[in-house]
């Protein structure tokens, strides 16, 4: 029996509204997980993240193993206690960051040997070590297998080799993880944009057996249309009764299209990264608060929002904070953006429950297209 409960409460086409039950609480799906990469949602306290609607957050093995160190986190009582978050935490395995940030010395059957982007120190990460860090030292609720994530476009032979290595690592991760009563393990589908490779990856993961399944290797340079084309077939290859997680995605319209195709869980740096650079997300797309047109705008970003950052501060004040490089500007815009993404999840869920997702999708696609044409 899985340590992770998942009940689908409503469907509209391929889309699902469900409830994910972890040892630390329930998560309504579709769900967006703000990134607490290094043990903090950037610019926010955990209370602000929770107030914005976050029920689950994401930590990262690569960053935490380098600083402050996984063993130190364990000595301090685990990641939940360290960052004062009592809800569920999903941890990425570190594979994507190793491939994208570190200076890689070697990728082979055993794992990855790399040099830290912080100080050049040498490290290794195997499937077994990734599981140890996530499950035993950080104490995450949802653990991800170690995989090899390559940039797209990629040669077919390269995509096939990465998928096959990831599948072999998946089996080793499952063996290292064993059976646990309070923690869950997700496998990661790979295969680039190739339908046959995605199918082979899914079949191998299902044969191993996981508590949930992620779609990896997208949002790595292929573009929106190519991503949607892959999502036309990839989610349906994964077990319908288990949660499906699209890693690293994305813009609101990306999330809408993925939910339409049967994805349940998401994470992305976009809300807080945009907030730190003066950008506010709205239902009509992003606003650049650096622009002079906001200098005397007395209106808030969203007067109807429950989020104080969205409701209580004028765009003129936010413009001033951003142009003055005041840290408060980064805090307020990050808080607002996380609240917008979490509100999107609630709207998508309500639309599925009320059989109105097709209409909401059309509305949001039209708004995104109108914004793109400006």
- Which residues are part of the catalytic machinery? 92, 267
Which residues 6+ apart lie within 8 Å of 189 measured at CB?
198, 201, 202, 205, 213, 214, 215, 216, 217, 234, 237, 238
Strand order in 15-22's β-sheet?
5-12, 15-22, 25-29
Nearest to 4 by CA among 30, 26, 28, 33: 26
d(CA 185, CA 4): 9
State both tokens at 173.
């991760």
DSSP single-letter state for residue 300? B
Instruction: List C-alpha distances in Å: 268 to 67, 216, 273.
Output: 21, 13, 9
| Residue partners of 116: CB distance under 8 A and separation at least 6 | 66, 102, 122, 123
Own/partner contacts of 366-369, CB < 8 Å, gap of 24 or more, are 367/283, 367/284, 367/285, 368/252, 368/253, 368/285
Q: Which residue has the tokens 């998946």?
A: 170
Sign of CA dihedral 196, 147, 263, 180: positive
E strand residue ranges, 1-158: 5-12, 15-22, 25-29, 31-34, 57-60, 89-92, 103-107, 112-115, 122-125, 142-144
**Cβ atoms within 10 Å, residue 3:** 17
- CB distance 56 to 79 below 8 Å: no
Q: Among candidates 193, 339, 348, which has minimal Cα distance to 259?
A: 348
């Amino acid at each position: 029996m899985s340590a992770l409960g998942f009940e689908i409460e409503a469907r509209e086409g391929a889309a699902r509204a469900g409830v994910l039950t972890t040892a630390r609480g329930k998560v309504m799906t579709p769900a967006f997980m703000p990134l607490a990469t290094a043990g903090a949602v950037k610019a926010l306290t955990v209370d602000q993240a929770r107030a914005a609607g976050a029920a689950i957050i994401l930590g990262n093995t690569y960053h935490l193993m380098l600083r402050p160190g996984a063993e130190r986190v364990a000595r301090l009582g685990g990641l939940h206690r360290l960052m004062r978050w009592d809800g569920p935490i999903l941890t990425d395995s570190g594979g994507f960051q190793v491939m994208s940030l570190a200076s890689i010395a070697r990728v082979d059957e055993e794992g990855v040997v790399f040099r830290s982007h912080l100080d050049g120190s040498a490290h290794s990460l195997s499937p077994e070590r990734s599981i140890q860090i996530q499950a035993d030292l950080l104490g995450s609720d949802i653990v991800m297998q170690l995989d090899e994530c390559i940039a797209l476009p990629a040669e077919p032979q390269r995509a096939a080799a990465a998928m096959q290595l990831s599948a072999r690592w998946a089996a080793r991760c499952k063996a290292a993880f064993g059976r646990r009563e309070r923690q869950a393990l997700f496998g990661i589908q790979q295969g680039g944009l190739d339908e046959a490779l995605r199918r082979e990856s899914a079949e191998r993961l299902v044969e191993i057996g996981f508590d949930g399944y992620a779609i990896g290797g997208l949002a790595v340079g292929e573009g929106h249309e190519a991503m949607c084309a892959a999502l036309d077939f990839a989610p349906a290859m994964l077990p319908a009764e288990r949660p499906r997680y699209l890693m690293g995605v994305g813009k609101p319209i990306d999330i809408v299209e993925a939910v339409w195709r049967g994805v349940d869980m998401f994470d992305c740096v976009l809300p807080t990264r945009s907030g730190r650079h003066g950008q506010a997300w709205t239902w009509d797309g992003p606003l650049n608060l650096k622009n002079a047109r906001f200098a005397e705008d007395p209106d808030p970003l969203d007067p109807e929002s429950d989020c104080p950052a969205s409701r209580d501060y004028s765009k003129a004040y936010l413009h001033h904070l951003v142009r003055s490089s005041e840290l408060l500007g980064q805090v307020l815009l990050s808080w607002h953006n996380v609240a917008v993404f979490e509100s999107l999840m609630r709207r998508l869920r309500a639309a599925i429950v009320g059989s109105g997702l097709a209409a909401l999708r059309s509305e949001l696609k039209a708004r995104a297209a109108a914004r793109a044409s400006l």
